[in-house]
């Protein structure tokens, strides 16, 4: 299933007026993140994705949870079944430490590459997560990787998941 860019759809007027307005409001609320927008309203998420790509038979929603995200934006218990995918290490404004590390330079992260699960994420094993972060920080400057050390306290372990539903359109 292809990724969709809701911002691009909103700018090209693919979204109905009310959905576009609600998206802009949500985007403004999350402006400080710059690289991620969290949609807590399940029905809105399904509507939004269905409007962006009405030809799709199914809509897939990525879920993200961490205690930090829940404190900052609110959290809720999902009423639908979520397939748990694994953990990503994320920092607002910097993105994914996995993307910047093991995916950008797999040659430097062979141990981590062998520990990625079937979804390309890490399992929620404290030893694996700590080992990956320590390795990344140890080589980031020398390997010219995105510098996470100065923002380490803002870095979060995000539990990623997926919900797949029929497209209501």
Band (143; pLDDT cuts 50, 70, 90): very high
Model confidence over 39-71: pLDDT tens digits? 888 888 888 888 887 777 777 888 899 888 888
Band (4; pLDDT cuts 50, 70, 90): low
Which pairing describes strands 156-166 and 58-65: parallel, antiparallel, or unpaired?
Answer: antiparallel
Give the separation between CA 162 and CA 160, rounded to whole angstroms: 7
Give the separation between CA 5 and CA 146, rounded to whole angstroms: 24
Domain extents for the chain?
Answer: 6-166
Model confidence over 64-120: pLDDT tens digits? 998 888 888 777 777 788 999 999 999 888 889 999 999 999 999 999 999 999 999
Most confident residue range from 27-36, 53-62, 135-144, 158-167 = 135-144
H or E element, residue 47: helix 42-52
Q: Please state the pTM of the whole predicted model.
A: 0.81
Q: Report whether 46 contacts 168 (CB < 8 A).
A: yes
């Amino acid at each position: 299933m292809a990724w969709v860019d809701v911002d691009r759809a909103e700018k090209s007027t693919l979204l109905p007026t009310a959905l576009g307005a609600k998206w802009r409001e949500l985007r403004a609320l999350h402006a400080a993140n710059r690289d991620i927008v969290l949609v807590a309203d399940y029905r809105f998420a399904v509507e939004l994705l269905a409007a962006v790509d009405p030809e799709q038979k199914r809509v897939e929603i990525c879920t993200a949870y961490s205690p930090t995200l829940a404190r900052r934006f609110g959290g809720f218990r999902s009423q639908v079944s979520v397939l748990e995918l694994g953990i990503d290490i994320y920092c607002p404004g910097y993105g994914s430490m996995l993307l910047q590390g093991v995916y950008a330079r797999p040659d430097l992260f062979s141990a981590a590459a062998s520990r990625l699960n079937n979804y390309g994420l890490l399992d929620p094993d404290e030893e694996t997560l700590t080992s990956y972060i320590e390795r990344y920080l140890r080589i980031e400057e020398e390997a010219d990787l995105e510098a996470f050390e100065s923002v380490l306290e803002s870095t979060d372990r995000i539990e990623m998941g997926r919900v797949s539903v029929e497209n209501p359109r």
